Amino acid sequence: MKAICISSSIANFKNKLSMKYAGHPEWGALHLFTPTIFFGMYHVGDYTKLLAHRGQRIVFWCGSDILNLEKSKKWQNILTNVKADHVCENDVERLKLEKMGIFPRVQPMFFDAIYQFEPCFKPSNTPHVFLTAHEASREPYGLNLLDDIARETPDVTFHVYGVKDQSHDNVIYHGRVPTKQFDKEIREYQGALRLNAHDGFAETLAKSILMAQHPISTIQYPYIDYADSIQNVIYLLNHLKDKKEPNLAGASYWKKLLQKPL
**Are 38 and 143 part of one and the same domain?**
no
- The answer to whether the CB of 142 falls within 8 A of the CB of 196 is yes
pLDDT digits (tens, 9 = 90+) for 232-250: 999 999 999 999 999 999 9
**What phi-psi label fits residue 175: left (phi over 0), alpha (psi between -120 and 50 degrees) or beta?**
left
**Are 173 and 235 part of one and the same domain?**
yes
Q: 235, 140, 150: which is closest to 194 by C-alpha?
A: 140
Q: How far apart are CA 22 and CA 7, in angstroms?
A: 17
Q: What is the CATH number of the domain that holds 132?
A: 3.40.50.2000
70 within a domain of the structure (yes/no): yes
* pLDDT tens-place values along the chain, 262 residues long: 899 999 999 887 888 888 888 888 999 888 999 999 999 999 999 999 999 999 999 999 998 999 999 999 999 999 999 999 999 999 999 999 999 999 999 999 999 989 999 999 999 999 999 999 998 889 999 999 999 999 999 999 999 999 999 999 999 999 999 999 999 999 999 999 999 999 999 999 999 999 999 999 999 999 999 999 999 999 999 999 999 999 999 999 999 999 998 8
Q: What is the domain extent for residue 157?
A: 114-257
- The answer to whether the CB of 130 falls within 8 A of the CB of 186 is yes
**Are 99 and 178 part of one and the same domain?**
no
pLDDT digits (tens, 9 = 90+) for 81-129: 999 999 999 999 999 999 999 999 999 999 998 999 999 999 999 999 9
122 within a domain of the structure (yes/no): yes
Q: How far apart are CA 200 and CA 160, in angstroms?
A: 19
* Total domain count, the chain: 2
At residue 232, the 3 state secondary structure works out as helix
Q: What is the DSSP string of 1-56?
A: --EEEE-GGGGGGHHHHHHHTTTSPBPSGGGTTS-EEEE---SHHHHHHHHH--S-
